[in-house]
């Protein structure tokens, strides 16, 4: 009989099939692009004080409520639209601060994009966007292959996630504490936190090493406490 993935054993019987699929097909896979990373930042913020299972079950509702996390459309949302989400039954967590943070953070992403573009008008926009470049710069644009032995060894935050949180807060982002930032880093493949030598860890290692990189990016770095 085939053994269950490590995360099924680690989380016990709390994982439904949707969560298992998310872990198998999304968690720890390299996510690039301004919009996908903005979406993930917003959903991680929505998770604060709750479980990821709760937010994952409502993810499509969030996408519907926030225009599929189109950054410009989220930035332009009105107070009335936010109030409708707070008072309505759109299947999202009706926490005004969290809902308003989506609009705020979209505006801050647009500020960052405008600032970076103005700083060096001669420079081409990075391949995956300015917000992408801002976040991935915290790991030198290369996934960090950690070597935890299991869930109990994985930190809730690290010096890198603390630095990311401080940088985002300095730019006016909200719901971006160090734990939220580290959760984003894990989910989006900035760090690989599958337990060392598990099938998932080995597959992630092989994916990164096999990646064709015309710009000569180095193979995954092995680094603890990233």
First-residue to last-residue Cα distance in the chain? 36
Q: Which of 19, 22, 130, 201 is catalytic?
A: 22
Q: Which residues pair with 222 in a beta bridge?
A: 145
Catalytic residue among 6, 26, 30, 52: 52
Q: Round to whole Å and give the CA distance between 188 and 109.
A: 18
Residue ranges of the alpha helices (H) in 50-158? 52-57, 59-65, 71-75, 79-87, 96-119, 130-136
Annotated active-site residue in 19, 27, 39, 44: 44
Residue 52 appears among annotated catalytic residues:
yes
Our CA angle for 220, 176, 217, nearest 5°, is 20
Active site residue 136: no
Identify the CA nearest to 28 among candidates 186, 226, 206.
186
- CA-CA-CA-CA dihedral for 168, 27, 146, 167, to nearest 10: 0
Rg (CA), the chain: 18
Whether 115 sits among the annotated catalytic residues: the reply is: no
**Run of H or E including 137:** none
Q: Rounded CA gap, 219 and 142, in Å?
A: 8
What does the DSSP 8-state code read for residue 172?
Answer: T
Active site residues: 22, 44, 52
């Amino acid at each position: 009989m085939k053994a269950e993935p490590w995360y099924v054993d680690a989380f016990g019987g709390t994982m439904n099939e949707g969560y298992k699929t998310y872990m198998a097909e999304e968690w720890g896979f390299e996510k690039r692009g301004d919009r996908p990373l903005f979406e993930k930042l917003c959903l991680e913020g929505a998770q604060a004080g709750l479980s990821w299972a709760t937010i994952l079950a409502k993810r499509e509702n969030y996408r519907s409520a926030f225009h599929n996390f189109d950054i410009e459309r989220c930035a332009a949302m009105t107070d009335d639209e936010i109030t409708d989400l707070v008072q309505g039954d759109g299947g999202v967590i009706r926490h005004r601060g969290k809902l308003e943070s989506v609009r705020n953070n979209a505006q801050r992403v647009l500020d960052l994009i405008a600032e970076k573009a103005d700083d060096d008008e001669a420079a081409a926009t990075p391949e995956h966007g300015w917000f992408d470049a801002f976040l991935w710069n915290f790991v030198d644009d290369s996934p960090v292959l950690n070597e935890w032995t299991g869930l109990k060894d994985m930190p809730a935050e690290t010096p890198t996630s603390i630095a990311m949180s401080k940088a985002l807060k300095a730019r006016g982002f909200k719901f971006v504490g160090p734990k939220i930032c580290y959760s984003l880093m894990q989910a989006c493949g900035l760090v690989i936190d599958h337990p060392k030598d598990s099938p998932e860890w080995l597959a992630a290692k092989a994916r990164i090493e096999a990646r064709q990189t015309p710009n000569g990016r180095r193979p995954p770095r092995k680094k603890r406490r990233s």
